[in-house]
Amino acid sequence: MPELPEVETIKLGLLDKVLGKEIKDVDIKEPKLVSFEVTKFKKAVSGAVISNVRRRAKLLILDLSNKNSVIIHLKLTGQLIYQGKEGKSTRAIFYFTDGTRLVFNDWRKFGYFKLVPTDKVEEFFQKQEFGPEPLEKNFTLECFYKILKKKPKSKIKPFLMDQKNIAGIGNIYSDESLFDAGISPLRLIKDLSEEEVKKLYKSIIKILKEAIRYKGSSVDAYVDIEGGKGQFVPHLKVYRRTGQKCFRCGGTIKRITLGGRGTHFCPKCQK
């Protein structure tokens, strides 16, 4: 599933390509994409101008000029491609009055569009109980300490992936942040030293910013809005490098299952 850097990259692309465009029509090819409310959805967005594009956690928000917003969750295989071609996996197409279009593809059909009044978007996300955004100013070291103290007996890797603790971090960037900080994903939060917490805090921010700079990691279906792959994969240090040498210590990268997810780390230098 696309994580914070991938969704942020798509958000920035949408701001560049579709901000200010008027939606002429939308073709919903998969009714469950909009909870089978196809007529209502089409009526609500047609004729509206995209006034803003935002991100919260791993979701996108298209704010419209008519005081409605479209919340988009890409889930596992969702793609938004500007001027994309229609294919077998195309589930929706936004047509703009200037002749351009935005195509939504989704092989697995898990993604969704949710129509919400713009003034109710914050209420929608409050119900999701997302944690703070790790790249916003309010995510301070003190904030991180407070979050960690809520679940001292939790293992650090599953904790980082829980969206109710911190928003937007998934399997890739929890692995990479823990490696950068030199912390084993198996460690209990209560056993982390003050110095280790500081290192992890800095590593999370560092890794996420670097991934955004390289437009994310295309390890599965993710592409940016022009259909291009993210360029962060060559910079991954542990994720999907099972059996390969550690770049830091020369040890062997190991893969285990933790919290139901594949977890990659170096047992030699992550303590």
CATH number, domain containing residue 111: 3.20.190.10
Which residue, 93, 128, 163, sits at the end of a domain?
Answer: 128
Residue 237 lies inside a defined structural domain of this protein: yes
Domain membership of residue 259 as a residue range:
141-265
User: 197 and 106, same structural domain?
Assistant: no
Residues 92 and 154 in one domain: no
> Residue 200: inside a domain, yes or no?
yes
Q: Are residues 166 and 247 in the same domain?
A: yes
In this predicted structure, the answer to whether residue 101 has a pLDDT above a threshold of 90 is yes
Domain count, the chain: 2
The per-residue pLDDT for range 6-52, each reduced to its tens digit, is 999 999 999 999 999 999 999 999 999 999 999 999 999 999 999 99
Do residue 170 and residue 249 come from a single domain? yes
Asked if the model's pLDDT at residue 62 lies above 90, the reply is yes
Residues 35 and 82 in one domain: yes
Q: Which of 54, 255, 261, 268 is catalytic?
A: 261
pLDDT level of residue 94 (50, 70, 90 thresholds): very high
Q: What is the mean pLDDT of the chain?
A: 97
Q: Is the pLDDT of residue 1 over 90?
A: no
Q: Quick one: pLDDT at residue 186?
A: 98
What CATH number does the domain containing 202 carry?
Answer: 1.10.8.50
Q: Are residues 148 and 124 part of one domain?
A: no
Q: Does residue 152 share a domain with residue 260?
A: yes
Give me the pLDDT at residue 29, please.
97
153 CB contacts (<8 Å, ≥6 apart)?
A: 188, 189, 190
Q: pLDDT tier at 234 (50, 70, 90 boundaries)?
A: very high
* Structural domain ending residue among the three candidates 65, 97, 128: 128
Do residue 84 and residue 147 come from a single domain? Answer: no
pLDDT digits (tens, 9 = 90+) for 135-190: 999 999 999 999 999 999 999 999 999 999 999 999 999 999 999 999 999 999 99
Q: Is the pLDDT of residue 249 over 90?
A: yes
Structure tokens at 80: 């938004």
For 11-14, which contacts have Cβ atoms below 8 Å and span 24 or more sequence positions? 11/53, 11/54, 11/55, 11/60, 13/82, 13/224, 13/225, 13/226, 14/50, 14/53, 14/60, 14/62, 14/80, 14/82, 14/102, 14/225
- Tell me, yes or no, whether 260 lies in a domain: yes
Domain boundary among 98, 128, 158: 128
- The reply to whether the predicted model has a pTM over 0.85 is yes
Which residue is catalytic, options 21, 58, 114, 199? 58
* Active site annotation includes 2: yes
Residue 252 CA to residue 269 CA, distance in Å, equals 10
**What backbone phi and psi angles, to 5 degrees, belong to 137?**
-60, -30
Residues 118 and 198 in one domain: no
> Quick check: is 134 in a domain?
no
Catalytic residue among 3, 6, 30, 176: 3
In the annotation, is 187 catalytic? no
What is the rounded CA–CA span in Å between residue 30 and residue 32?
6
Q: What percent of the chain has pLDDT over 90?
A: 99
Rounded Cα–Cα distance for residues 163 and 169 (Å) = 7
Same domain, 167 and 253: yes
